[in-house]
């Protein structure tokens, strides 16, 4: 299989879990490299629906090592609740590993996250309020608590006795909220440490050992490229790097071990929360996209918020190809478009202030917010694709649509998903061993 990164090519919620599940069948190791319980991944297997937030979806395959990497932020309470629910459904946790270096989301992180978001009023950024941003902030400020600290009561107690009073100043004076008790937090999180201890190890060393043994490793991220802290639609982004470059840092590996990068994109576009969305559709059309996708649950898995829906945006797609170095695409939720008489694709932007046309994403956030889409319109195929199992099964109009997307993004479409089930998947070309992408003269 080789060492492969699966990355979201849009604003997250692209259906990465299904693609990861498909590829994990042949993986020895699956590594989640960033984010925390703000992620929401859904996999449907034999009529059973599994929702993942922290644990890699590779756990559905017995014997596959599943790693929560050092780039993640882990809420122990959420982790244990998710794990317990999976164990009750008969899944094996013997191959689950948690990085000792991953940072821990504490109760004050969740409280501060919610308070900060509420205080923004009309300037909200759409956080999930799961404490992710404040946890990463403490990590960068070098005052964070790591998983290894949960296993050492003396270290944990000392850190909490120093840190919690500082957080209480923020809670009480800035947000008029009650202080938190360091002793109560200590007792709760020492107990989590005891529960998690059997999973904790040096995961970077484990990954390196797997590389040396030529094991097949699959790296999965949460969220999507346009939510990347450095390369996304700042400030409406997450607090880590979901892009392909984040996989190396978040897993603890060098870039030379990566063989292939697969981007996952819906056949249309969605976004949860705030921020610019040039192709967003409102009224009947936007609602039809959302309601047609109800079998795929067009609401945030983590937040339950309805997703904003719109047409596919090739400007953002080209940007994702460039930022991640994508070798191929997996297109999901193609079947959602089955009922549309015509389908639009954004091929460029027009600056509504200057009239300038942009084929590429503007680097300035203010300019991005002013962009209006320029569309190319395609005839719909108006027939179900849910039973298609090969590229030749797809209607000619569907093939035309997919071919156009591949040409616009200058990257092949390797996988097409036409439903939530495992077998509702078309593999057009080998996503793992296909040819490496070569930049065209246009690039």
Residue pointed to by tokens 């999965």: 220
d(CA 77, CA 198): 16
Determine which helix (DSSP H) or strand (DSSP E) holds 157, and give its type and residue range: helix 153-169
Select which of 13, 28, 113, 228 is catalytic: 13
Select which of 41, 103, 109, 231 is catalytic: 41
CB hemisphere CA count around 223 (13 angstroms): 31
The number of angstroms, rounded, from the C-alpha of 116 to the middle of its chain's C-alpha atoms is 23
Q: Catalytic site residue 41?
A: yes
* Percent helix, percent strand, percent coil in the chain, to nearest 5: 40, 20, 40
Which letter, b or e, does each residue of 348-385 get, where b requires 16 or more Cβ atoms within 10 Å of its Cβ? bbbeeeeeeeeeebbeeeebbebbebbeeebebbeeeb
In 176-218, alpha helices (H): 182-196, 203-212
Closest CA to 131 of 121, 122, 139, 123: 139
Residue pointed to by tokens 């193609």: 334
Q: Catalytic site residue 13?
A: yes
Token couple for 11:
């604003």
Instruction: Report yes or no: 85 and 55 within 8 Å, Cβ to Cβ.
Output: no
The number of angstroms, rounded, from the C-alpha of 61 to the middle of its chain's C-alpha atoms is 20
**Catalytic center residues:** 13, 41
């Amino acid at each position: 299989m080789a060492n492969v990164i699966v990355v979201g090519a849009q604003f997250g919620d692209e259906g990465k879990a299904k693609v990861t599940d498909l590829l994990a069948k042949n993986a020895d190791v699956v590594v989640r490299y960033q984010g925390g319980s703000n992620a929401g991944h859904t996999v449907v297997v034999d009529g059973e629906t599994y929702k993942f937030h922290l644990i890699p979806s590779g756990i559905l395959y017995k014997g596959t090592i599943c790693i929560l990497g050092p780039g993640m932020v882990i809420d122990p309470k959420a982790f244990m609740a998710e794990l317990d629910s999976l164990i009750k459904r008969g899944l094996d946790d013997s191959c689950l590993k948690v990085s000792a270096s991953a940072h821990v989301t504490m109760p004050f992180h969740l409280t501060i996250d919610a308070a900060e978001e509420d205080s923004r009023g009309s300037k909200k950024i759409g956080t999930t309020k799961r404490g992710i941003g404040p946890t990463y902030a403490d990590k960068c400020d070098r005052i964070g608590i790591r998983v290894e600290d949960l296993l050492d009561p003396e270290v944990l107690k000392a850190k909490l006795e120093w840190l919690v009073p500082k957080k209480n100043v923020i809670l009480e004076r800035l947000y008029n909220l009650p202080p938190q008790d360091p002793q109560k937090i200590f007792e709760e999180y020492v107990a989590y440490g005891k529960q998690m201890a059997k999973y904790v190890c040096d995961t970077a060393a484990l990954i390196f050992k797997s590389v040396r043994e030529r094991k097949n490793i699959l790296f999965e991220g949460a969220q999507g490229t346009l939510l990347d802290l450095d390369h996304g639609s700042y400030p409406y982004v997450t607090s880590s790097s979901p892009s392909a470059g984040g996989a190396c840092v978040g897993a603890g590996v060098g870039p030379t071990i990566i063989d292939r990068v697969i981007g996952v994109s819906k056949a249309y576009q969605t976004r949860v929360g705030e921020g610019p969305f040039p192709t967003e559709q409102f009224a009947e059309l936007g609602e039809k996209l959302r309601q047609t996708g109800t079998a795929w649950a067009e609401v945030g898995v983590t937040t339950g918020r309805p997703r904003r829906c719109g047409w596919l945006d090739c400007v953002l797609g080209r940007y994702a190809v460039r930022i991640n170095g994508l070798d191929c695409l997996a297109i999901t939720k193609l079947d959602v478009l089955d009922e549309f008489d015509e389908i639009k694709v954004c091929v460029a932007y027009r600056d509504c202030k200057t009239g300038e046309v942009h084929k590429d994403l503007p680097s300035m956030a203010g300019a991005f917010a002013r962009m209006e889409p320029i569309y190319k319109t395609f005839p719909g195929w108006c027939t179900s694709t849910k039973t298609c199992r090969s590229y030749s099964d797809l209607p000619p109009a569907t093939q035309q649509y997919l071919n156009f997307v591949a040409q616009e993004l200058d990257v092949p479409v390797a996988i097409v998903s036409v439903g939530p089930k495992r077998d509702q998947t078309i593999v057009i070309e080998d996503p793992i061993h296909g040819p490496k992408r070569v930049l065209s003269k246009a690039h």
